[in-house]
Chains A and B, each alone.
Chain A
Amino acid sequence: MPWIYLATAVVLLVGMFMILIRAIAGPTVYDRILATNALGTKTIVFVTLLGYVSGRTEFIDMAIIYALVSFITTIAILKFAEMGRLD
């Protein structure tokens, strides 16, 4: 069964590579923020799948923490891009 998780992880890596191209080439700053947000979501799924590949399901705890940190990061960067300061 691990090869199915591994195949899913490889497909997610291909998608992450496409999103990374958009994050580098994006014309506006909002394209980069959107690409970073999508990359964060794909990374969460990728970490969980790696935990299932190696048979250690404790990786889900890291996925929970990464989900919360990624959301807060997106909101903070948006507030900084909108107002120019964080307070």
Chain B
Amino acid sequence: MQVSEIVTTVFLALGCVVSLTGAYGLLRMPDFYSRLHTAGKTDSLGQFLIFVGLVFVTPDLLTQLKLVLVAMILMIAAPTATHAITKAAHLHHLRPWTKSDPGGEP
């Protein structure tokens, strides 16, 4: 195994761990805002790690630039979409979860 393949493997493994953690948090958390907290962060970081890991094993320059382009598009678009979802839910008076108030749709 060459050095670039080892670096790619490490990046892909990190991306796998982050993505799976986000998916499990989205399934596990009790409330919409806490689910948003796990999904919004791990989406951006997981895809960024996997795309950056794939750059090291790609031979030609154009494909590397395309990989960085997809990573940058997602790095801008995913937090914007998360912010828009949060704003829409907040404007519709979705209450956060507490111990005395189970929350939910008004």
A→B interface (CB under 8 Å): 1, 4-5, 7-8, 11-12, 14-16, 18-19, 21-22, 27-28, 30-31, 33-35, 37-38, 41-42, 44-45, 48-49, 52, 57, 60-61, 63-64, 67-68, 70-71, 74-75, 78, 81-82
Contact = CB atoms under 8 A, between A and B. Distances in A.
Contacts of A30: 32, 85, 88-89, 92, 94
Contacts of B47: 41, 44-45
Nearest to B67: A60
User: Which of A8, A48, A68 is most buried by chain B, counting CB atoms within 10 A of its CB?
Assistant: A8
Interface in B28-60: 32, 35-36, 39, 43, 46-47, 50-51, 54, 57-58
A18 B26 contact: yes
B67 A19 contact: no
The 5 A-B residue pairs with the shortest CB-CB distance, nearest first, are: A15-B23, A71-B77, A18-B23, A30-B89, A11-B16
Nearest to B39: A38
B81 A75 contact: yes
Contacts of A4: 8-9, 12
Given A60-B70, A82-B91, 5 more contacts: A5-B12, A15-B20, A16-B23, A28-B104, A44-B70
A7 B35 CA distance: 26
A71 B26 CA distance: 19
A44 B39 contact: no
